[in-house]
Amino acid sequence: MHIRETSISGLVEIFPRVFEDERGMFFESFNKQVFENLGLPTHFVQDNQSFSKKGVVRGLHFQNEPFAQGKLVRVISGVVLDVAVDIRPDSPTFGQYEIFELRGDKNNFAYIPEGFAHGFAAVEDAIFSYKCTNIYNKQAESGILWNDPDLNIDWGVTNPNVSEKDLVLPTLKSLFPDKVISA
């Protein structure tokens, strides 16, 4: 297993060692000792899975303290563009984001630390799976408008299918009016 560090501290893409033969393939999607050796979190308390049809955009979501969540995200089948936006107020990369192309046939995944808004666009029908470092709490949920003009994220889909809830999320600037967005 190896990681690709991004320009945003703590945000990494992970490539597992995949074993393939005529029967199929095998890989470890989580190994506590390997994650510790890579400096990644090893304590996850909740697993989630969703299915999204091609063209669906979900996010950008996050949990406020004390329920902030780190997420280990991957695609079981299909393809998504996974987006992580740095919303750590004291971070030099506040307002910057990274896009990962997560593919079921590539078996790559990403670790998104606490302090990031997260979302994804289904480029193909996709089964999306993620482990969380903290439990979900409805009162702590928040988010940023998926098409926030200050972020200008290219989601890679035309005519995105977005939930009613995600259509009315606030902009990053309205959540952090005193911050300069460096996207």
For 8-38, b where at least 16 C-beta lie within 10 A, e where not — what string? bebbbbbebeeeeeeeeeeeeebeeeebeee
Query: Is there a domain that residue 183 lies in?
Result: no
Cα end-to-end span (Å), the chain: 30
The whole domain housing 105 covers 2-175
DSSP run (H or E) holding 161: strand 161-162
**HEC assignment per residue over 121-133:** EECCCEEEEEEEC
Would you name the residues annotated as active-site residues?
61, 130
pLDDT of 167 reads 97
Query: Is there a domain that residue 51 lies in?
Result: yes
pLDDT of 28 reads 92
What's the structural domain count of the chain?
1
Residue 180 has pLDDT above 90, yes or no: no
pLDDT tens track for 14-62: 999 999 999 999 999 999 999 999 889 999 999 999 999 999 999 999 9
pLDDT of 120 reads 98
User: For residue 138, what is the DSSP state?
Assistant: G
pLDDT of 183 reads 54
Query: Is there a domain that residue 180 lies in?
Result: no
Average pLDDT for residues 162-167, to the nearest whole number? 97
Query: Is there a domain that residue 106 lies in?
Result: yes
Give the CATH number of the domain where residue 89 resides.
2.60.120.10
Give the β-pairing of 19-21 and 24-26: antiparallel
Query: Is there a domain that residue 110 lies in?
Result: yes
Task: State the Cα–Cα distance between residues 25 and 5, nearest whole angstrom.
Answer: 26
Query: Is there a domain that residue 6 lies in?
Result: yes
Query: Is there a domain that residue 102 lies in?
Result: yes
Query: Is there a domain that residue 62 lies in?
Result: yes
pTM: 0.94
Four-residue CA torsion sign, 86, 87, 90, 93: positive
Residue 83: band (very low, low, confident or very high) from pLDDT cuts 50, 70, 90: very high
